[in-house]
Structure 1
Amino acid sequence: MTTAHRPTFDPARGKEAQRGVAYHQRLLPAHTLLKTRKLGQGGDADNQPRDLRAELLAAEAANQAKKHGRQTDETADAGANSKRPLQLEEGQDNPEDEDPEAKRRRILEETRDIDADSDGADSDSSEEESDEEDETAELMRELEKIKRERAEQKAKEEAAKAVKEEEEREVGIALGNPLLNPKAFNVKRRWDDDVIFKNQARGTEQKGKKEFVNDLLRSDFHKRFMSKYVR
């Protein structure tokens, strides 16, 4: 029985080679790492008690806070712990120790600046609105002018068209009456009315309807043949 169809697992060895010892792929070490169960795969880590209800409530609270843009207690505590109290700059007094009169004066100055800015903004906005109204009025005048010019042009075209139609109607009335146009009674003559020889072709005067005859001796072809060649 031949083994030519089988793959060679251990190839033929020749003489001593200089390349050293060669190992087959199946002889190399494999599966050297022992796999262990991880969390959630039913191992020893899953035996620890878990408060599933607390985890579910915490997840729902976090989701609701994310939807409404609020912070949960954990994030708020973390933010509060991460924030540091603001340090006053050098030379700046504590606001609580500030004189009430000086504080009132400072607030009035700030509000005065804000009012001045708002008045300037209002004046600028009113000027812009007036400019926009002027531009709108100018555009409306231009639009009315264009409409008026188009209406005049259309009226001129309609008047010219009406005049042309009236002229065509008058010409049709004048030439359409045969009593006013005696030239219309002239009979057109053929080009061969004055020739001397007319209808010279043989057989043109006997143009009758062809009839089918079952007898070959009485057919038109036989008659023409006999009259032409046998007399």
Structure 2
Amino acid sequence: MTTAHRPTFDPARGKEAPKGPAYHQRLLPAHTKLKVRQPGQGGDADTEVRDLRADLLKAEAAHFAKKGKGIPPPEASEAESPERVEGSGQKRAIEDSRDSDDDVGGEPEQESLEAKRQKILEETRDIDADSDGGSDSDSSEEDSDDEDEEDETAELLRELEKIKKERAEQREREERERAAEEQEKKEFDIARGNPLLNPSATDFKLKRRWDDDVIFKNQARGTDDKNKRKEFVNDLLRSDFHKRFMNKYVR
């Protein structure tokens, strides 16, 4: 329910207006400072070439100085200690001595390998000779069996070729007979089918009534009911149609 219909006894009153002109908030000046590109935004500061390595070293030095530790000089870390050099020299000397020992004792090992190889070759030759002697008889029997099978397959192939040839000849003969019959039937239809070329085959006589050429026809229609009085009876049981129906189908 609204209160629009009620009178306003205490109307709203505005506040006291401040002295001087009044402006809207959006009419006040804004964006009075000019923005400048910061480093990393593609300005003039980015065109200068930076030494990233120097910056990194400075940052590390500041970090270690803050923790109270000094950065070790790079020369000291890269230089090798004399003890390490001596150890590497001893290691190289040991490796050289091992290589010389291998060169001295390599000849007898090679001779033993050659002897083993010769022995294996002789054993394989003996095995091959034994297998060749026993396989001759087996191979002869297998050859005879293979020849018999080849003869049988050759006979079967010949019979198949013969059957295929006979069937092809029979098919060609049937096709020739069918084509001859169709051609004969077609020629008969051409010769006997046209009644103008063969008038004896068909009879053009038409059966006509004696009064087909009479001008006035059906002149006697309705003469039977001429003297009959037509009447309308509003009773289905006494109508003419009902009487005819009863006389025809019931009585």
Using the size of structure 1 for normalisation, the TM-score is: 0.33
Q: Report the structure number with the largest CA radius of gyration.
A: 2
Using the size of structure 2 for normalisation, the TM-score is: 0.31
